[in-house]
Each structure stands twice: as structure tokens, then as C-alpha cells.
Structure 1
Amino acid sequence: MELRQLRYFIEVAERQHVTEAAENLNVAQSAVSYQITKLEEELGVKLLERVGRNIKVTQIGHIFLQYVISALKTIDEAKEKVDEYLDPQAGTIKIGYPTSLARYWLPNVISAFRKDVPNVNFHLRQGSYAYLIDAVKNGEIDLAFLGPVPMKDPDLKSKILFMENIVALLPSHHPLADRKSLSLGDLRNDPFVLFPKGYVLRGIAVGACREAGFEPNIASEGEDMDALKGLVSAGIGVSLLPESTFYDSIPRFTVKVAIETPKATRSVGIIIPKHREIAPSEKNFYQFLIEFFDRLDRYK
């Protein structure tokens, strides 16, 4: 069984046409047919069958196809890792991130890193808190930014890069909009707009309200940061969000106000797998992040 036979099989199975597959592979149609026939003879089953001018994948062919796609994906990823070891200044780093870090911190750190290492590529994947943790564990991504940082997971190596405050976002016509700071208890009678149940930032917001002595009245929910800011802009309610999400701008018709008591914060950092070695390019980026935020902390 040869790799080219498996690649030919995938191409024909997906296109359901030998001629089109051969043209895309830039090889002769007879070569494709011959290699697939050899593959079927070795396996002792028919993977493909002709239906008129087209090709249909047999039932066992569909099962074999899924395993072949997975196997070749693993082989291609393995080759990428070998290339990265040969040249740590190149390669592709697969990074996961939540929506709350997408607009400010992620672009800034990647831009700063690429000034020193311009040949490294980044593959970015946004996802939920739980998805990012699972994706790092199963190798779908190499590392992930998270806030808050899970410090007790036995399968992860976690590093806190900085702590940030949670602030109140109020409609500009709110009675407390002219305040520089407020007590969270001052908002006990306001409707809140928060993330849905299961989102970490909702848990932080609800926990802060409970510490202030009340259960928030959640009037609306939004699944991303821009949706929540838009709801506040529309006067639907108030929200509690990480301060860094306002570094670039504050939405129209809203006001950001610091929370004096109780202080609500979250840790922000990076996670990598504890039981799987990461490639040199990923180690370089991981170390860069630690040094980058250490410098920021020293110059505060």
C-alpha cells in the first residue's frame, strides 16, 4: 500500500470521476485507475464502482475513506513538525483564542513576534473555553489563549500572563454614566446583558454580582462581545466585561465605568499540552509571550 495510491483514491472518491481526479492530480487517467486497482487487489475489496460515466464509493469504500483521510492528515502534520524542527524560524503555529482576546491582545502579540520571526505562519482558531482546552489536549491546536487560565488541569501546562479588571459598560443615558467608578451593588436594580449559561465570562459576572449581595436580572444574552456591546448601546441593559476589550474603542452610546467594590478580575494566559512535546517554533512563541508580558508588567 503506497501513499500515492491512497491520495489517488481520496481524489477519485471526492470527485466521483476518474478523469477529473487525474486532471487535478496532473497524472494520466490510466495511472490513477491502475494504482486504485492495485490498492483494491491488496485489500481484497472493491472500493469504487462505476455508475454510468461517474464513480460511486462502495459501502466499505466509505469506511476506508474516512480512515485514509485521517491517516494522511496525521502524516502531513508529522511532516510539518519535522520541517519545524529543521527550521525553528519557520513553520506554522496553530493558536486558539476566545472572542474576548481577539481584537486587541492577539493581533498585538502576533505582530510583535513576526517582527523578529517573519517566516513563521499562524493558523488561528476561535472557540469556546471548553473547546480550546479540548483542542490543545487532542493536538488540534498547539496552544491557546484563555481567560481565566485553568491552573489545575493535570493535562495542561498553564501560564498566567497578566491579570485584568472586569468593568461595567453602561448606556450613556444611565444615571451613573458620569461616575469614574461605582460599587457593583449600585446596579442591583438594572437589567443585565450577559453571555449565555456555560460561558466563563457569564460565570465571572454573576459571581461578582453575588459577592455584591444580589442576583443579576439577566434581560438579554449575546454569544459574542460585539453582540453584548450592541445590546448595551441600544439601552437594553448593563454588562460586565474585561477591560482589555475596550482598549481600541468604546461603543457608541455607552460608557465604561470602573468597579470599585467588589473588585472583579480575571487571569489571562496561555495553555500548552503537558504530556506532548511542542515544536521549536511553538516553544519560541511561548517563551516570547512570557517575556513580552513580563516587559509590559515592568513598565506599568
Structure 2
Amino acid sequence: MVEHCPPSAWNRVRHRVEYARDVHPPRLTPAGEIVHRRALTLLAEQDDLLAELNALRGLQRGELRLGLPPIGSSQLFAPVFATFRARYPGIDIRLVEHGSKRLEEVLRAGEIDLAGLLAPVPAEFDFKLVRQEPIVVLIAASHPLSQASELELAQLSALPFVLFESGFALNPIILEACQQVGFTPHVAARTSQIDFMIELVAAGLGIGFLPRMMAEQRRHSGVRTVGLTAPALTWHMALAWRRGAYLSHAAQAWLDLIEPAR
């Protein structure tokens, strides 16, 4: 049983206790020291994690994995590269270049975030149309048909073709159209280089095909560009990504810079 103490006595006890605490402050046990150090580390790691996530959301750092085809990329995407780099200097762009068919494979495997593909785009991908251009025929200036303003595809059945390598999606567009009008072309040569294809056409080896935009930007004195009809063929470039997959902030920022197809 505690006896009653006058207020003055309690004050003297409290003063002695407070004085004792000042002289001997509380100390952590060895186990408490370990927990305390670990807690500080976890808090620091949490701060680092939040800062890193905020940097990614703010596009201050990160990586964009981009796959583009050799045909048309310089005209369509070089200005976007410059704008993207100016706005997001901390984002690294890892670029791979293949024909559309190979790009479909690496996109499907998740090795890249976005791929430049020719429409029609497989149903497993979402996409944004970037550009559509009529496909024109390139003919040596010395050939009589080079003076025409337009040519039907059937008029070209006797001429050898200069096509791109088999992985390029432009080839099936041309070959399927030939089958529709009733012939299978003789392929004189294949190449993966636009400039080399144009030189082969100028040398008279055969005729070539390009989207009009690219043909106009690569004019050659020995080559004429002629419109194509019956059927008229169109080149549709799209940027695609895996349907339902996570689209990074960097990839979304790239898409936001792409103007709708015209």
C-alpha cells in the first residue's frame, strides 16, 4: 500500500527521476540497434524507389526499345527522333532495324516496345497509323513505258521485277496484286537497299516499286516514276505494340509525338 505524500514530496521525487533520465538517457538493446539500422536502410531504399519511379513517370530516365523498317523510316521518323531527344534527353533509344516480318517476330517476343509495320497489322497487335502513300513503279528512262502518266499492273507482266529481300512486307503487296491480275512476275534481283534498287532500275535490269514519298525524295536522272492503276496499291505504315501488354511511359511519349496518318 502506498502512503499518501504531500505535493512537495512528489515534486522532489519527480525532479529526481527527470534528473536521472537526463544523466542516463535510454539506450537501445543490441537487438534494437539491429532493427533500428535495418529500418533506416529500408526507409532509404523506399525513398530511392519512389524517386526512381517518379523519374520514370516524369521521363527523366529510362529506355525506349524501337524497331523500324529500312523503307520509309528516315523520312517518317528522323524528325520524331530529334523532337523526342530534345524533350526527353534522359531516355535511351535502343533501335533495331529489320523488315516488317522480322519486326513482327521480335515485337511478339517482347524484345521491343514498338515496331513499324505495314498494314494490315496482325490482330494480336494494337497500332496507330502513321502514313499512307500510293505505290508507284520505277522504270528506266530509256524504256518506252517511262513516258506514260499511269500504267496498269497488267502492262508490266513481261518486264523483270527488282524487289526487296523476302522479309520486306512491300513484296507481298506487289506479288499478290500481280496474282490478282493473272501473272507471276519474273524477279531479276532482290536487295535490301533502296538506293541500290534504284540503280538497278536505272541500269535497265528491271522495274521497281516504292511508296511515292520515297520515290520523289530519291529522284534519279536515269529513272522515271509512273503512277500505278488497276489495281492502285497503297503503302500503309503503322506503329504497333502487343495488344494488352504494358506500354512504357517512354513508348507512350513516342506515340504522342506521331501525328495521325494522312
Provide the TM-score with structure 1 as the length reference.
0.63
Point out where structure 1 has 5 or more consecutive residues left out of the alignment: 1-80
Which residue number corresponds to residue 46 of structure 1?
A: none
Task: Note if 1:253 corresponds to 2:222.
Answer: yes
Map 1:224-243 onto structure 2 (within 5 A).
224-243=193-212
Which residue number corresponds to residue 244 of structure 1?
A: 213
Higher Rg: 2
Find the residue that maps to 1:177 and give its secondary structure.
helix
Aligned length: 211
Find the residue that maps to 2:139 and give its secondary structure.
strand
Alpha-carbon separation, structure 1, partners of 2:174 and 2:186: 12
Find the residue that maps to 2:147 and give its secondary structure.
coil
Q: 1:115 offset after TM fit, Å?
A: 4.9
Task: Note if 1:95 corresponds to 2:62.
Answer: no
Alpha-carbon separation, structure 2, partners of 1:251 and 1:241: 13
Point out where structure 2 has 5 or more consecutive residues left out of the alignment: 1-51
Q: 1:214 offset after TM fit, Å?
A: 2.1
Equivalent position to 1:187, from 113, 134, 156: 156
Provide the TM-score with structure 2 as the length reference.
0.71
1:242-276 residue CA offsets vs partner (Å, 9 max, x unmatched): 22322422234111111122111132101112232
Which residue number corresponds to residue 277 of structure 1?
A: 246
Task: Give the 4+ runs in structure 1 shifted more than 3 A.
Answer: 81-84, 112-121, 196-199
Q: 1:90 offset after TM fit, Å?
A: 4.3
| Aligned-CA RMSD value | 2.4
Identity of aligned residues (%): 25
Q: Which amino acid aligns with 1:92?
A: E
Distance 1:86 1:117, change over 3 A: closer
Task: Note if 1:218 corresponds to 2:187.
Answer: yes
1:88-126 residue CA offsets vs partner (Å, 9 max, x unmatched): 254332210111123311213323444554554422210
1:37-76 residue CA offsets vs partner (Å, 9 max, x unmatched): xxxxxxxxxxxxxxxxxxxxxxxxxxxxxxxxxxxxxxxx
Distance 1:256 1:84, change over 3 A: farther
Q: 1:129 offset after TM fit, Å?
A: 2.1
Alpha-carbon separation, structure 2, partners of 1:198 and 1:118: 33
Find the residue that maps to 1:293 and give its secondary structure.
coil
Alpha-carbon separation, structure 1, partners of 2:82 and 2:150: 33
Higher relative contact order (CA 8 A, sep 6+): 2
Q: 1:82 offset after TM fit, Å?
A: 4.6
Which residue number corresponds to residue 131 of structure 1?
A: 102
Q: Which amino acid aligns with 1:284?
A: A
CA contact (8 A) 1:84 1:280 kept: no
Which residue number corresponds to residue 293 of structure 1?
A: 260
Find the residue that maps to 1:227 and give its secondary structure.
helix
